[in-house]
């Protein structure tokens, strides 16, 4: 139970080869007792990783859980985490590429629809004035050309392929470093 008059104090510290999480004990004022599913889940996960035990200590005024610190298993977990991060990075890059393509096509379709409409407005209502429709036609058209170049052609020195090559290069270097450590 946590209230402003009875705050929960949490203390996290290292004790030998264990990480200890301790808090003051303030049980809820309800009849139903906790099922302990969360603590059991932690125990089962640690059993998969190590033979060392998770210690749970409930006293009158405090509650503490001591989990063993992992050493060799950490590198295995990091490798798995790295592959998940790579998948996330690949997804983010693919998503960004799709968004760029959608943005280009939306802009192109808008251009094809709006520019003839602007020409019609000029011709219908102000045919003897300056041909103002050229300004959006040229500048919006130039913007579309630059966007198309960025989306389809830009694979030069600092384009998307360069970025991808550099990322892969750094990842290979990091893997080689970790392999020898």
pLDDT tens digits along 70-79? 866 444 455 5
Q: Taking each helix axis as running N to C, give the angle between helix 72-125 and helix 160-180, from 0 to 180 degrees, rounded to the nearest 10.
A: 170
**Per-residue pLDDT reduced to its tens digit, 15-74:** 888 889 998 887 777 656 666 678 888 888 888 778 888 888 888 888 899 998 886 644
Closest by Cα among 143, 121, 131, 16 to 68: 16
User: Above pLDDT 70, what percent of the chain?
Assistant: 78
Give the whole-angstrom CA distance, residue 27 versus residue 12: 20
Can you name the residues that pair with 12 across neighbouring β-strands?
A: 21
């Amino acid at each position: 139970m946590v209230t402003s008059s009875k705050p929960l104090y949490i203390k996290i510290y290292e004790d030998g080869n264990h990480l200890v999480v301790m808090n003051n004990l303030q049980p809820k004022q309800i009849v139903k007792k906790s099922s302990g599913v969360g603590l059991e889940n932690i125990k089962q996960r640690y059993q998969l990783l190590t033979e060392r035990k998770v210690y749970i200590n409930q006293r009158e005024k405090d509650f503490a859980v001591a989990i063993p610190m992992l050493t060799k298993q950490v590198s295995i977990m990091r490798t798995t985490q790295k592959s998940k991060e790579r998948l996330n990075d690949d997804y983010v890059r693919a998503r960004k590429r799709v968004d760029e393509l959608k943005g280009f096509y939306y802009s192109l379709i808008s251009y094809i629809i709006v520019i003839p409409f602007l020409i019609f407005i000029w011709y219908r209502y102000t045919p003897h004035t300056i041909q103002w429709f050229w300004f959006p036609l040229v500048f919006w058209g130039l913007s579309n050309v630059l966007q198309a170049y960025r989306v389809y052609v830009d694979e030069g020195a600092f384009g998307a392929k360069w970025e991808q090559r550099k990322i892969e290069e750094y990842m290979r270097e990091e893997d080689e470093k970790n392999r020898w450590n």
